Amino acid sequence: MTLLLFVEQVLNGLQLGVMLFLMAAGMTLVFGIMGLINLAHGSLYMIGAYVAATVQQATGSFLVGLLVALPVAALVGMAVEMIALRRLYPRDHLDQVLATFGLILFFNELVKIVWGPQAYFMAMPDMLSGSVDIIPGIPYPAYRLAIVATGLAVAILLYLLITRTRIGMLIRAGATNREMVNALGVNVDRLYTIVFGLGAALAALAGIMAGPILALEVGMGESILILTFVVVVIGGIGSVRGAFVAALLVGIADTFGRVLLPPAIAEMTIYILMAAILVWRPQGLFPAHA
Amino acid sequence: MKRASLLAAAAFFASSIMASAQAAEPLKIGFISTLSGPGAALGIDLVDGFKLGIEHSGGTLGGRAVELITGDDQLKPDVGRQLAERMIQRDKVDLIAGVVFSNVMMAVAKPIFDSKTFMLSLNAGPSDLAGKRCSPYFFNVAWQNDQSHEAMGKHVKDKGYKRVYLMAPNYPAGKDALTGFKRYYSGGEIIGEVYTAINQPDYAAELAQLRAAKPDAVYIFYPGGMGVNFIKQYAQAGLKTEVPLFGPSFSFDETILPATGDAALGVMNTGFWSPDLPNPQNAKFVKAFTAKYSRPPSPFAAQAYDGALLLDSAISAVGGKVSDQDRFRAALRAAKFDSVRGPFAFNNNHFPIQNFYLREVIKDDTGRMTNRLVGTVFARHMDAYHDQCKMK
Judged by CB atoms closer than 8 Å, whether chains meet at B208 and A8 is answered as yes
Q: Which residues of B touch A132 (CB under 8 A)?
A: none
Judged by CB atoms closer than 8 Å, whether chains meet at A12 and B38 is answered as no
Q: Which residues of B touch A213 (CB under 8 A)?
A: 202, 229, 232-233, 236
Helix A220-235 and helix A188-210, axial crossing angle in degrees, nearest 10: 120
Contact B307, B50 (CB under 8 A): yes
Judged by CB atoms closer than 8 Å, whether chains meet at A220 and B233 is answered as no
Contact B119, B96 (CB under 8 A): yes
Report pLDDT for B23: 53
Is the pLDDT at B20 greater than 70, yes or no? no
Is residue A266 helix, strand or coil? helix
Nearest chain A residue (CA) to B212? A5
**Biggest distance spanned by C-alpha atoms of chain A:** 61
Residue type, position A70, single letter: L
Residues of chain A whose beta carbon is less than 8 angstroms from a beta carbon of chain B are 2, 5, 8-9, 12-13, 15-16, 108-109, 112, 117-121, 123-124, 129, 131, 139, 141, 143-144, 210, 212-220, 223-224, 255-256, 258-259, 263-264, 266-267
Average pLDDT on B266-270 reads 96
Is residue A140 helix, strand or coil? strand
Q: Which residues of A touch B46 (CB under 8 A)?
A: none
**CA B287 – CA B284 distance, rounded (Å):** 5
Picking from B386, B322, B373, B313, the residue whose alpha carbon sits closest to that of residue B125 is B386
Judged by CB atoms closer than 8 Å, whether chains meet at B205 and A9 is answered as yes
Average pLDDT on B279-291 reads 96
Is the pLDDT at B291 greater than 70, yes or no? yes
Judged by CB atoms closer than 8 Å, whether chains meet at B202 and A109 is answered as no
**CA B360 – CA B249 distance, rounded (Å):** 10
Average pLDDT on B372-387 reads 96
CATH architecture for residues B147-271+359-381: 3-Layer(aba) Sandwich (3.40)
DSSP character at residue A123: P
Judged by CB atoms closer than 8 Å, whether chains meet at B236 and A255 is answered as no
Comparing B125 with A33, which gets the higher pLDDT?
B125
* pLDDT tens sequence across B140-183: 999 999 999 999 999 999 999 999 999 999 888 898 899 999 99
Average pLDDT on A276-283 reads 93
Q: Which residues of B touch A264 (CB under 8 A)?
A: 170
Residues of chain B whose beta carbon is less than 8 angstroms from a beta carbon of chain A are 36-38, 40-41, 44, 170, 194-197, 199-202, 204-206, 208-209, 212, 224-225, 227-229, 232-233, 236-238, 255-256, 258-261, 295
Confidence of residue B108 (pLDDT cuts 50, 70, 90): very high
Is the pLDDT at B283 greater than 80, yes or no? yes
Is the pLDDT at B21 greater than 50, yes or no? no
Q: Residue B242 contacts by C-beta under 8 Å, 6 or more apart in sequence? A: B211
Pick from A112, A119, A144: CB nearest B259:
A119
Q: How far away is chain B from the Cα of A262, in angstroms, using its nearest Cα?
A: 9
**Domains by residue range for chain A, with CATH:** 3-280 (1.10.3470)
**CA B108 – CA B7 distance, rounded (Å):** 48
User: What is the CATH number assigned to the segment(s) B26-143+277-346?
Assistant: 3.40.50.2300
Judged by CB atoms closer than 8 Å, whether chains meet at B197 and A129 is answered as no
Average pLDDT on A139-148 reads 91
Residue type, position B178, single letter: L
Handedness of CA A204, A210, A212, A216 (dihedral sign): negative
Q: What average pLDDT does chain B have?
A: 91
Judged by CB atoms closer than 8 Å, whether chains meet at A258 and B196 is answered as yes
* pLDDT tens sequence across B25-54: 899 999 999 988 777 889 999 999 999 999
Average pLDDT on A122-140 reads 82
Average pLDDT on B187-209 reads 92
Nearest chain B residue (CA) to A124? B236
Confidence of residue A127 (pLDDT cuts 50, 70, 90): confident
* pLDDT tens sequence across A28-71: 988 888 889 999 999 999 999 999 999 999 999 999 999 999 99
Judged by CB atoms closer than 8 Å, whether chains meet at B259 and A215 is answered as yes
Pick from A13, A141, A256: CB nearest B237:
A141
* DSSP for A153-199, written as a single string: HHHHHHHHHHHHSHHHHHHHHHHH-HHHHHHTT--HHHHHHHHHHHH
Judged by CB atoms closer than 8 Å, whether chains meet at A119 and B201 is answered as no
Report pLDDT for A132: 83
Is the pLDDT at B330 greater than 80, yes or no? yes
Q: Residue B388 contacts by C-beta under 8 Å, 6 or more apart in sequence? A: B130, B131, B132, B134
Pairing of strands B64-72, B60-61: antiparallel
Report pLDDT for B18: 47
Q: What is the H or E stretch that residue A264 is in?
A: helix A263-266
Average pLDDT on B278-298 reads 95
Interface predicted TM-score of the whole assembly (ipTM), two decimals: 0.87
SS (H, E, C) chain B: CHHHHHHHHHHHHHHHHHHHHHHHCCEEEEEEECCCCCCHHHHHHHHHHHHHHHHHCCCEECCEEEEEEEEECCCCHHHHHHHHHHHHHCCCCCEEEECCCHHHHHHHHHHHHHCCCEEEECCCCCHHHHCCCCCCCEEECCCCCCHHHHHHHHHHHHCCCCEEEEEEECCHHHHHHHHHHHHHCCCCEEEEEEEECCCCCCCHHHHHHHHHHCCCEEEECCCHHHHHHHHHHHHHCCCCCCCCEEEEHHHCCCCCHHHHHHHHCCCEEEECCCCCCCCHHHHHHHHHHHHHHCCCCCHHHHHHHHHHHHHHHHHHHCCCCCCCHHHHHHHHHHCCCCCCCCCEEECCCCCEEEEEEEEEEEECCCCCEEEEEEEEEEEEECCCCHHHCCCC
Confidence of residue B1 (pLDDT cuts 50, 70, 90): very low
Judged by CB atoms closer than 8 Å, whether chains meet at B37 and A218 is answered as yes
Q: Which residues of A touch B225 (CB under 8 A)?
A: 119, 214-215, 217, 220
Contact B45, B39 (CB under 8 A): no
* pLDDT tens sequence across A173-202: 887 787 888 888 888 888 889 999 999 999
**CA B77 – CA B66 distance, rounded (Å):** 26
CATH 3.40.50.2300 residue ranges for chain B: 26-143+277-346, 147-271+359-381
Q: Residue B284 contacts by C-beta under 8 Å, 6 or more apart in sequence? A: B56
Q: How many residues belong to chain A?
A: 290
Comparing B154 with B4, which gets the higher pLDDT?
B154
Pick from B194, B205, B259: CB nearest A255:
B205
Report pLDDT for B2: 53
Judged by CB atoms closer than 8 Å, whether chains meet at B205 and A119 is answered as no
The percentage of chain B sitting over the pLDDT mark of 90, rounded to a whole number, equals 82
* pLDDT tens sequence across A217-253: 888 998 899 999 999 999 998 889 999 999 999 999 9
